Amino acid sequence: MNASWKTTLFGAGGLVSVLAGALQHWAAGQPVDWNLVIAAALPAIGLIFARDNDITSKQAGAEN
């Protein structure tokens, strides 16, 4: 299990929210601003790979 579960959870939640909104517009036949979708999705993806502040490098596996 990822030791940085908080940032992973909020990153995944943000990504799902962005994609769900885009898909909702697309399914309704409304135009989707894909530049905006990408701009909103990138920080969420960054959170998925980020480390929580209270997790040490050793706990995260970045240090031996």
pLDDT per position as a tens digit, 17-53: 999 999 999 999 999 999 999 999 999 999 888 877 7
Higher pLDDT, 35 or 2: 35
Per-residue CA distances from 25 to 32, 38, 56, 62 (Å): 6, 15, 41, 40
Per-residue pLDDT tens digits for 6-18 = 888 999 999 999 9
pLDDT computed for residue 1 by the predictor: 45
Residue 2 confidence (pLDDT) above 60 = no
Q: What is the pTM of this model?
A: 0.77
- Cβ burial of 4 (10 Å; 0-12, 13-18, 19+) is buried
